[in-house]
Amino acid sequence: MKSRGDLTWRMTKFVFVTGGVSSSLGKGLTASSLGRLLKSRGLRVTMCKLDPYINVDPGTMNPGEHGEVFVTDDGGETDLDLGHYERFIDESLSKMSNTTTGAIYSNVIAKERRGDYLGKTVQVIPHVTDEIKDRIRRLGALGADVVIVEIGGTVGDIEIVPFIEAIRQYRRDAGKNNVCYVHLTLVPYLAPSGEQKTKPTQHSVTELRSRGIQPDIIVCRSDQPISDTLKRKISLLCDVPIAAVISAVDAPSIYDIPVTLHEEGLDRIVCETLDIEVDEHPIDLAAWTEVVSRVHSTRRRLRIGVIGKYVSMPDAYLSVAESIRHAGFAHGATTDIEWIDAERVPSDYNAEYLRAFDGIIVPGGFGERGIEGMIATATIARELELPYLGICLGMHVQVIEYARNVLGLLDANSTEFNTSTSAPVIALMADQLDVLDKGGTMRLGAYPAMLKADSIVAQLYGTTVVSERHRHRYEFNDRYREQFELHGLSCCGNSPDGRLVEFVELPGHPFYVGTQAHPEFKSRPDRPHPLFDGLVAAAVNRAEGREPHIISEEALSVSP
């Protein structure tokens, strides 16, 4: 530890999290949980995801295959794991926190074309690995005490090799005591033999060591605790201390994971590896244990329907689902989420079926598929006074539905779906392109909005000036604003210059709110987003204040 004047300067430490045996073991949640533990020790923490796919970023990837695109304040379209990072460490990250193979190679090739390499032969080592290390180094220069870097994919994948080589070199560059390698593996239970097997872990560690990295810590995922005997076996065969073999057993909820890993000693071993004095940084998990307490002390159950385009892949709406749960925790409610394909509304899921929900959300998306089902959902929610939150596309369908059924504009539509509509209430308007300055014609990242002081949304936020993250191309058509206002739909939030409608609401309805933004990206487990909080509050009122609705046998027979 060195001193710069009256400021304390600490060498930035780096933790690299890799995975083996199988994908989807939970590297992102393990890294996020570690970040929370280190932050709870008073350390400044930031995080990064290195993804091996060749796409430049997830922005053009199919959410039904890859999951949601998480958006940062500065307009980065990133991997969904950044959502876990932000929710757990409660820090706003940037586009610097997600790097892909595509972005790395794009930059290396651009440098070669400019002559930055002075005509040298451009190779994976050192040019590609240097580019990877440079991005990690720049993130570390922002002032964090610890940078946690998750490597996507699985050790042994061909795509991951340059990243593994780069982080191998990083310990030499940064110094032995400034780098910690955490390797996540699977310890499966084989029912026929009645045993947990360590062989997959051994093979995974052998593969990692063949690339020059000896893990400092092995985190063992399993469906039951790892015994001390197995820990000793893994310790011996993988050459790590017994205390550095961490049992990461399946948890009741993802929010239990930090507590579980702390009890296993993960954060202490990481600090010891990085020469961080644990006595100087005692842990305070009071705030997080309060979250866990809320998770497990709910008093009621709510049914929330999410009507969307990508429901066959719930990770496409991961942040939406977590935001619903956060609001549920705050109201002492377990929120049972039912995923409904918008294409099956109202043919399979009609008004009788949907009215049994306590609340409805129509989330974002692109393209025409399922739009008429979403519009039908908005009609049902409006007419049956069913609490409804429209997010981005969900607001668009609210506006289209209201224009058709209340304003009498029967041909109302968005030019995204019908370029020849006579009533383009949602459109990409040329006179607004000068404000769409992120991502070409797409609004990406955080934008401010001014709320009407007497609006429902202003009451929810507790302020009239807010900032939310966006990811969309089409806007509310300002030419129709006066008609909507005259017919009761309030344009209650607007851009500071008044040109863009950011929020709509229907006064007198229990909760009928839409936003052009993606509020789900800013919700936290101990601080639910105001809009989700408002929806769940209305859902609680509906559940407690109405006669239980009995669904007919015919409606109940609908297959998922």
Picking from 108, 112, 84, 109, the residue whose alpha carbon sits closest to that of residue 97 is: 84
Say which of 271, 392, 491, 492 is annotated catalytic.
392
For residue 96, give every residue at least 6 positions away whose Cβ sits within 8 Å of its Cβ, in sequence order, or none.
48, 76, 135, 138, 139, 142
DSSP state for residue 424 in the 8-state scheme:
E
Q: Is 392 a catalytic residue?
A: yes
Q: What is the largest CA-CA distance in the chain?
A: 77
Q: Give the dihedral sign, CA 111/114/116/121.
A: positive
Helix-helix angle 161-174:129-140, to 10 degrees? 50
Query: Could you give the CA distance from residue 325 to residue 392 in angstroms, rounded to a whole number?
Result: 20
Which tokens in the block code for residue 500?
């863009």
Given a contact cutoff of 8 angstroms between Cβ atoms, the answer to whether 111 and 119 are in contact is: no
Say which of 183, 262, 326, 518 is annotated catalytic.
518
3-state secondary structure (DSSP) of residue 359: strand
Given a contact cutoff of 8 angstroms between Cβ atoms, the answer to whether 128 and 169 are in contact is: no
Q: Is 262 a catalytic residue?
A: no
3-state secondary structure (DSSP) of residue 186: strand
Given a contact cutoff of 8 angstroms between Cβ atoms, the answer to whether 45 and 139 are in contact is: no
Q: Is 165 a catalytic residue?
A: no
Q: Which residue in the block uniquely carries the two structure tokens 């506006």?
A: 399
Q: Which residue in the block uniquely carries the two structure tokens 């191998």?
A: 168
Cα 36 to the center of its chain, rounded Å: 16
Query: Could you give the CA distance from residue 121 to residue 440 in angstroms, rounded to a whole number?
Result: 34
Say which of 165, 401, 520, 529 is annotated catalytic.
520
Burial class (CB in 10 A: 0-12, 13-18, 19+), 494: buried
Residue positions annotated with a catalytic role: 392, 518, 520
